[in-house]
Chains A and B, each alone.
Chain A
Amino acid sequence: MATITENIRKEVKEIVYSFFADECEVDIDRINDQTSIINDLDGDSLMFLELIEIFKKKYNLDIELKVIGKYAVKHPVATIGQLIEMQLLIIENENRLMDLDH
Chain B
Amino acid sequence: MSNNQLAFIFSAFTSDYADHPGRNITGFESVFNDFLLQAAASADPELANFNFTENTFHKDELLTQYLTYIYNCTVSLLLRKANVFPVMTAGYSMGIYAALYDSGSVSFETGLTLIRMAYQCMKASLKGKFFGMGTIIGLNEQDIRQLTNQSSLRVEIANQNATHSFVVSGYHDDIQILLALATSEGALHTRELGVTIPYHSGYLIDGSEDFSRMILQLKISTPVTPIISLLDQHLLTTPESLSEEITRNLFNPLNWFLTMQAMQQHQISGFIECGPSKGLARNAKFVDGIKFFPLSSILP
Chain A residues 52 to 73 lying within 8 A of chain B, measured CB to CB, are 53, 64-70, 72-73
Complex CA gap A46/B137 in Å reads: 8
Residue B145 lies at the interface, judged by CB distance under 8 Å to chain A: no
Residues of B within 8 Å of A27, CB to CB, are none
- The answer on a CB contact under 8 Å between A66 and B137 is no
- The answer on a CB contact under 8 Å between A69 and B188 is yes
Contacts known (A65-B138, A66-B139, A66-B143); A45 close to B185, Cβ less than 8 A: no
Residue B266 lies at the interface, judged by CB distance under 8 Å to chain A: no
Contacts known (A45-B137, A46-B137); A65 close to B188, Cβ less than 8 A: yes
Contacts known (A46-B137, A49-B137, A66-B139); A72 close to B188, Cβ less than 8 A: yes
Residues of A within 8 Å of B183, CB to CB, are 69, 73
A46 to B: closest C-beta gap in Å: 6
The 8 closest A-B pairs by CB, nearest first: A66-B186, A45-B189, A69-B186, A70-B186, A69-B138, A65-B138, A69-B188, A45-B188
Total inter-chain residue pairs, C-beta < 8 Å: 52
A95 to B: closest C-beta gap in Å: 12
B61 to A: closest C-beta gap in Å: 23
A25 to B: closest C-beta gap in Å: 9
A43 to B: closest C-beta gap in Å: 12
Residue B282 lies at the interface, judged by CB distance under 8 Å to chain A: yes
Report the interface size class on chain B.
10 to 19
Residue B123 lies at the interface, judged by CB distance under 8 Å to chain A: no
Residue B286 lies at the interface, judged by CB distance under 8 Å to chain A: yes
Residue B187 lies at the interface, judged by CB distance under 8 Å to chain A: yes
Residues of A within 8 Å of B137, CB to CB, are 45-46, 49
A52 to B: closest C-beta gap in Å: 8
Closest chain B residue to A73 by CB distance? Answer: B183
Contacts known (A65-B164, A66-B139); A48 close to B286, Cβ less than 8 A: no
Closest chain B residue to A65 by CB distance? Answer: B138
- The answer on a CB contact under 8 Å between B189 and A53 is no
Residue B169 lies at the interface, judged by CB distance under 8 Å to chain A: no
B6 to A: closest C-beta gap in Å: 23
Complex CA gap A53/B162 in Å reads: 12
Residues of A within 8 Å of B285, CB to CB, are 46, 50
Return the CB mask of B137-178 against A: 1 if under 8 Å, else 0: 111000100000000000000000000110000000000000
- The answer on a CB contact under 8 Å between B186 and A49 is no
A-B pairs with beta carbons under 8 Å apart, 24 shown: A44-B189, A45-B137, A45-B138, A45-B188, A46-B165, A48-B188, A48-B189, A49-B137, A49-B138, A49-B164, A49-B188, A49-B189, A53-B286, A64-B186, A65-B164, A65-B186, A65-B188, A66-B138, A66-B185, A66-B187, A68-B138, A69-B138, A69-B188, A72-B188
Complex CA gap A44/B143 in Å reads: 22
Residues of A within 8 Å of B138, CB to CB, are 45, 49, 65-66, 68-69
B105 to A: closest C-beta gap in Å: 32
- The answer on a CB contact under 8 Å between B189 and A68 is no
B19 to A: closest C-beta gap in Å: 9
Residue B49 lies at the interface, judged by CB distance under 8 Å to chain A: no
Q: Knowing that A48-B189, A65-B164, A69-B187 are A-B contacts, what are 9 other residue pairs whose CB atoms are under 8 Å apart, sorted by A's residue number? A: A44-B189, A48-B188, A49-B189, A64-B186, A66-B187, A67-B186, A68-B138, A69-B183, A73-B183
